[in-house]
């Protein structure tokens, strides 16, 4: 089945009415099967398809879209998205310069050992003279606070150093 046939069959299944501009007629489900209709679309429409969607359904669809945008923040595209969010800083130090990088990475590895869900979300970096290790890609401060509480219970030895920080995050859709 070609791409246009698949799209036409889906539209036909959802809407049940297809209007061809050349004939301006409706085709009901009972009269023709989707295979014949997709063939007619390819031949007769020339790429122009009009779908008759009742106003109440159209309003419902657009209202759901508005709600989705309001609740989820920025619209994410497929792939890697960089946006403002939060991370949990679990290490920040500028003393003992010779061991800072190793200590920063060791702290991140300790978190991954206990919480594999953060694999790929450990960010150790230097901003001279300090080294930092941050965990996670949280879209809201509430999510980051909940995760930090979990980490503090698991690592009481450095719980006092942990804090939620605003950060550019990576979200994959």
C-alpha to C-alpha distances, 86 to 15, 82, 98, 144, 169, nearest whole angstrom: 43, 12, 29, 6, 7
CB atoms < 10 A from the CB of 132, how many? 20
Q: Is residue 144 part of a domain?
A: yes
- pLDDT, one tens digit per residue, over 51-63 is 666 676 666 655 5
* CATH number for position 121: 3.30.70.1070
Tell me if the pTM is above 0.75: no
**Shared-domain flag, residues 165 and 85:** yes
Q: Which helix (H) or strand (E) segment is 105 a member of?
A: helix 100-114
**Shared-domain flag, residues 134 and 90:** yes
Q: Is residue 127 part of a domain?
A: yes
- List of the chain residues with pLDDT < 50: 18-30, 64-69
Q: Is residue 110 part of a domain?
A: yes
**Shared-domain flag, residues 168 and 86:** yes
pLDDT at position 35:
63
Structural domain for 17, as ranges? 3-52
Alpha-carbon span 104 to 113, nearest angstrom:
15
Q: Is residue 57 part of a domain?
A: no
Total domains in the chain come to 2
């Amino acid at each position: 089945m070609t791409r246009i046939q698949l799209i036409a069959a889906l539209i036909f299944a959802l809407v049940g009415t297809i209007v061809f501009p050349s004939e301006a007629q409706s085709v009901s489900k009972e009269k023709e099967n989707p295979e014949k209709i997709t063939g007619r679309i390819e031949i007769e429409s020339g790429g122009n398809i009009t779908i008759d969607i009742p106003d109440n359904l159209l309003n419902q669809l657009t209202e759901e879209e508005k709600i989705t945008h309001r609740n989820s923040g920025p619209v994410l595209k497929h792939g890697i998205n960089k946006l403002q969010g939060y991370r949990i800083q679990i290490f920040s130090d500028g003393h003992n310069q010779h061991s800072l990088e190793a200590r920063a990475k060791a702290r991140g590895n300790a978190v991954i050992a206990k919480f594999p869900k953060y694999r790929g979300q450990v960010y150790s970096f230097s901003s001279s003279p300090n080294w930092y290790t941050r965990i996670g890609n949280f879209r809201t401060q509430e999510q980051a606070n909940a995760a930090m509480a979990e980490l503090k219970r698991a690592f009481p030895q450095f719980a006092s150093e942990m804090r939620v920080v605003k950060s550019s995050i990576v979200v994959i859709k």
